[in-house]
Amino acid sequence: MKFHRYALLLLLLSSLFPPPCLCQLNDDVLGLIVFKSALLDPHQSLSSWNEDDASPCAWKFVQCNSGNARVSELHLDSLSLSGKISRSLEKLTSLKLLSLSNNNLSGPISPDLALIPTLDHLDLSRNSLSGNLPPSLAALQFLHLSHNALSGPLPDNMFDNSLSPRFLSLAGNRLEGPLPASLSKCVTLNHLNLSSNRFSGGFPRGIWSLERLRTLDLSRNVLSGEIPAGMASVHNLKELDLHGNQFSGSLPSEIGLCPHLSKIDFSYNFITGAVPESLQKLNELAYLSISNNFITGDFPQWIGGMSSLEHVDFSSNALTGSVPSSIGELKSMKFLNLVQNKLIGGIPSSLGECWSLSVLRLGGNAFNGTIPNGLFDMKLEELDVSRNEVTGFVPPPSSKLYESLEILDLSGNNLVGDIPPEMGLLSKLRYLNLSWNHLESRMPPELGYFQNLTVLDLRSNALTGSIPGDICDSGSLAILQLDDNSFVGPIPDQIGNCSSLYLLSLSHNSLSGRIPESVSLLSKLKILKLEENELSGEIPPQLGRLENLLIANISHNRLVGRLPAGGIFQTLDATSIDGNMGICSPLVKSPCVMNVPKPLVLDPYAYASQPGREARSPPRRTFLSVSAIVAISAAAFISVGVLVITLLNASARRRIAFFDNALESMCSSSTRSANMAAGKLLLFDSKSAAERLCNVDLNSVLNKAAKIGEGVFGSVYKATTDGTTVAIKRLLTSNRVQYQEEFDREVRILGKAKHPNLNPLRGYYWTPELQLLVSDYAAEGSLQARLHESASPPMTWGERFRIVVGTAKGLAHLHHSFRPPIIHYNLKPSNVLVDENVNPKISDFGLARLLTKHVVSNRFQSAMGYVAPELACQSLRVNEKCDVYGFGVMVMEVVTGRRAVEYGEDNVVILSDHVRVAVEQGNVVECVDPGMREYPEEEVLPLLKLALVCTSQIPSTRPSMAEVLQILQVINTPLPNRIHPQF
Ligand SMILES: *[C@@H]1O[C@H](CO)[C@@H](O)[C@H](O)[C@H]1NC(C)=O
Ligand SMILES: *[C@@H]1O[C@H](CO)[C@@H](O)[C@H](O)[C@H]1NC(C)=O
């Protein structure tokens, strides 16, 4: 009893008043306190570690051996500790397990850790430890050093003293050099992971002698050479991962002799040959990837027997043949990737029976037939059938798919028909790609339901309708590509809701209206492609705020005005802005149009003769696709050698004042058709529908008249009766229209063509021998004279442009106000009269109606230089586009002051060729009439380009005169801030 009380007192005393130096400080306490002092412990995880304690066994994360009260295990994982691992841990001489994984520890690993005799488990994984790997550590049973920054090679004899290693992982370091041969001594090894280093050299043959190996991971190194034989001896192997090396040769044929394999990954190597037959014996295999090799031969037909398969990846090889329908027996399969092989035949409908399947990728093969409906009745998350030869319709998705599908790629097939409206119910869809098919429907409005849609790609189909405004209701859309369809209408204002959008690509549609200002809200936008639409108006200046924009293309629309000041717009190159109606940029050598309130639509019918009298052609609303201006025909010009050129000119024309009210006195009112007025002059009244017959002996008038010209259709005379001067054209008698009725009808039609830019036909005279046409006489002579013969000063640019526009208006009236159109057939400067105000008036229009076709084509050869190529070739259908050709040549003459064809000593210069070369070489200024002192360069180039398109060899690529007028308006629109002295 006494003893007991004494002992108790002693114990009590010693714990209340521990004598400081009475006993030696515990080694474990010392080691751990010093270890702690080298660390940064941001969360105070080690606050229980108190240096005043006699024993560390009660400290957090510390375990002691109950026998000797020494520290045996230290678990300090995931405590955000940083700093270095102190050598003081050597003091813990009973330590068996040290685990410091997932901290931020740095510095080298002390080799002396291996001096702790009891240590057999070291886990320093997921830190930032660097330096070489101390070879001494290889003696540990469990060594986990993965995901650090260890570097250098491993000594070849590193594992010589490894007695009973079980687990070795050095994955995710920067170790290099060959794998040590001594690895083969680690016969007790279960788990070997050397992945994600820079190990090189061959596959160490000795590894196959590690019979207890269950996991072998050498992935992501630069190991090369063939995989050696001998694999059969690692018959316990469960997981084999060699992906991401440079192994070559074929897959090991003995692989089927490792019956417990559940995972095989040979992907991303250079492996050739066929899939080994022995593979089918692996009925525990769940994960099989041989993707991204050069594996050939037929797709394994026995695959249906490998019932444990869950993950199958054969992608990016060269497998041939078809997929057997037995694949439907793989009921556990969740993932099947056959992308990018050479598989053919139909997609087995039995795939619909793989009810675990959630990812199915079949893209980039040659599968044909239709998409099995069953595939749209599964719980798939991803379906990729892209880039095959699949035909038929897109099956309607079933309700199972509504809740699961996130990725759908059917692009690059031959699918037809609608986008099924049920598609809108795929509420989880993130990626939808139906591009490059032949889908025809409107875009289903339900597409706006998608809450998480990030990519919508419907390019290159035949989709119609407008872009729905709710397309961005979810706000998650990042990529929207609708290019190359037939979408119409405006870009919806709500596009501004697409706040995540970084690629907006709507090119090659028929979108119209303005670019919405709200596009400027797309602050993440990197790529904006709007080219080849019909967008008009000015580009909203707010688009300059798009700071992230890297690429923008707005070419080939009808945009005008300044480019936005900020962002990428001022640095766009010409190809991104070309082909608009008037973008203002120093890079674009085309017209600049600003502050235009409305799209330019000039009504070519404004001067229609009298409503109701002539059937008008329905208004053509098509604009010229301005690309035509650039697309200068490359067709060869008519060979110069075959030309028989007799340029007739009206050199005799002189300036004579012209008067109205001609022949008034000798005429009486008449009603038409009483008789055909043979031998009398019939005058059309310009103001009323009345006509007058005049008893004038025009034969005798003609005898006194002066012949002033000779044209394709006959001679022209100036005649004066009673002080009135008129022009009388005597038509060629041969091949004329035989009957007066026919002649009368045709001339009356021409008589109705009244327009400020047409020289009106006043009347006619008909006898079987003589046909005369009477018209006003132009005081100032013809354009031919003004350009090439006149002594008066050269015309200003403004005068020239006025002539071009006026001529275009006159022609547009002839072409578009009459049905069938009145074709001039012979437009050239000598047929364009110019009055004292420099207003042009087209004369001699439509005369071909009065002659037979034979004469027309023969006669035209004499007007070479103006004649459209199709006129020279009688088999072609001729329409009003031949006048457009003549107009084009005339424009070139007006700009250059040169003749359509000029003869030198030993060469012939064809003006349109000359201009074409100049434009192509950028020497436009050199071909401008040197007589003009001042002219705006920015108008000259587009005008000449227009002229070149008008003289395209292919009639259908020439613009209509209405389109020409629109373009002319754009080329020369008076700007508020630009001075036009000539206008
Ligand atoms: C699919 O392709 C195979 C082989 O190329 C061919 O025999 C078969 O007729 C094709 N089937 C269809 C529906 O086109
Ligand atoms: C959309 O994505 C978010 C975040 O990934 C997710 O939480 C949400 O469930 C998704 N919504 C749908 C309908 O899939």
pLDDT in tens, 850-908: 765 544 455 444 455 666 666 654 444 678 888 898 899 999 999 988 888 877 666 77
- Range name among 169-183, 616-630, 954-968 with the lowest pLDDT average: 616-630
pLDDT of 621 > 50? The answer is no
Task: Report whether residue 452 contacts ligand 2, using a CB cutoff of 6 Å.
Answer: yes
pLDDT of 117 > 80? The answer is yes
Pick the more confident residue, 651 or 930.
930
Task: Report whether residue 476 contacts ligand 2, using a CB cutoff of 6 Å.
Answer: no
- Range name among 88-92, 423-427, 489-493 with the lowest pLDDT average: 423-427
Task: Report the nearest atom of ligand 2 relative to the CA of 428.
Answer: 14
pLDDT of 5 > 50? The answer is no
**Residue 502 has which token pair?**
């970084």
Task: Note the pLDDT of residue 870.
Answer: 66
Task: Report the nearest atom of ligand 2 relative to the CA of 406.
Answer: 14
452 CA → ligand 2 middle, Å: 6
The Cα-based distances of 279 to 207, 229, 332, 459, 530 in angstroms read 21, 15, 18, 42, 53
- Band (pLDDT 50/70/90 cuts) for residue 726 is confident
- Band (pLDDT 50/70/90 cuts) for residue 635 is very low
Instruction: Supply the residue whose CA is at minimum distance from atom 12 of ligand 2.
Output: 428
- Range name among 146-150, 205-209, 262-266, 716-720 with the lowest pLDDT average: 716-720
What does pLDDT average to over the chain? 81
pLDDT of 206 > 70? The answer is yes
Q: Which residues pair with 222 in a beta bridge?
A: 200
What is the C-alpha end-to-end distance of the chain, expressed in Å?
132
Task: Report whether residue 155 contacts ligand 1, using a CB cutoff of 6 Å.
Answer: no
- Quote the pTM value: 0.60
Task: Report whether residue 320 contacts ligand 1, using a CB cutoff of 6 Å.
Answer: no
Query: For residues 227 and 247, is the Cβ–Cβ distance under 8 A?
Result: yes
427 CA → ligand 2 middle, Å: 9
Domains of the chain, residue spans: 663-777, 780-983
Q: pLDDT, tens digit, for every residue of 504-514?
A: 999 999 999 99
**Residue 83 has which token pair?**
């700093």
Distance in angstroms (rounded) separating the CA atoms of residues 74 and 60: 9
If one residue of 401, 404, 452, 500 were mutated to test the ligand 2 pocket, choosing by the most ligand atoms within 8 A of its CB, it would be: 452
Pick the more confident residue, 12 or 98.
98
- Band (pLDDT 50/70/90 cuts) for residue 973 is low
952 CA → ligand 1 middle, Å: 46
Distance in angstroms (rounded) separating the CA atoms of residues 833 and 656: 12
893: enclosing H helix or E strand: helix 881-896
- Range name among 261-265, 346-350, 360-364, 711-715 with the lowest pLDDT average: 711-715
State whether CATH 3.30.200.20 applies to domain 663-777. yes
Query: For residues 241 and 216, is the Cβ–Cβ distance under 8 A?
Result: yes
If one residue of 368, 388, 414, 415 were mutated to test the ligand 1 pocket, choosing by the most ligand atoms within 8 A of its CB, it would be: 368
For every residue of 908-957, DSSP letters joined together read: EEEHHHHHHHHHHHT-GGGGS-TT-S---HHHHHHHHHHHHHHT-SSGGG
322 CA → ligand 1 middle, Å: 10
461 CA → ligand 2 middle, Å: 29
155 CA → ligand 1 middle, Å: 58
* Non-local CB neighbours of 639 within 8 Å, separated by 6+ positions: none
Task: Report whether residue 391 contacts ligand 1, using a CB cutoff of 6 Å.
Answer: no
**Residue 363 has which token pair?**
């893209």
365 CA → ligand 1 middle, Å: 13
Instruction: Supply the residue whose CA is at minimum distance from atom 9 of ligand 1.
Output: 345
Task: Report the nearest atom of ligand 2 relative to the CA of 451.
Answer: 13
366 CA → ligand 1 middle, Å: 9
Q: Which ligand is nearest to the CA of 406?
A: 2
- Range name among 469-483, 624-638, 691-705, 928-942 with the lowest pLDDT average: 624-638
Task: Report whether residue 513 contacts ligand 1, using a CB cutoff of 6 Å.
Answer: no
**Homologous superfamily, domain 780-983:** Transferase(Phosphotransferase) domain 1 (1.10.510.10)
Pick the more confident residue, 337 or 846.
337
Instruction: Supply the residue whose CA is at minimum distance from atom 2 of ligand 2.
Output: 452
Q: Which ligand is nearest to the CA of 367?
A: 1
Task: Report the nearest atom of ligand 2 relative to the CA of 427.
Answer: 13
Q: Which ligand is nearest to the CA of 321?
A: 1
Left (φ > 0), alpha (ψ -120 to 50) or beta: where does 284 sit? Answer: alpha
Task: Report the nearest atom of ligand 2 relative to the CA of 452.
Answer: 1
Task: Note the pLDDT of residue 653.
Answer: 25
Q: pLDDT, tens digit, for every residue of 278-329?
A: 999 999 999 999 999 999 999 999 999 999 999 999 999 999 999 999 999 9
344 CA → ligand 1 middle, Å: 8
Tell me whether the omega of the peptide bond preceding residue 348 falls within 30 degrees of 0, making it cis: no
* Non-local CB neighbours of 675 within 8 Å, separated by 6+ positions: none
Distance in angstroms (rounded) separating the CA atoms of residues 980 and 983: 6
If one residue of 320, 344, 371, 389 were mutated to test the ligand 1 pocket, choosing by the most ligand atoms within 8 A of its CB, it would be: 344
Does 729 belong to an annotated binding site? yes
428 CA → ligand 2 middle, Å: 7
Q: Which ligand is nearest to the CA of 366?
A: 1
Query: For residues 713 and 830, is the Cβ–Cβ distance under 8 A?
Result: no
Task: Note the pLDDT of residue 225.
Answer: 95
Task: Report whether residue 321 contacts ligand 1, using a CB cutoff of 6 Å.
Answer: no
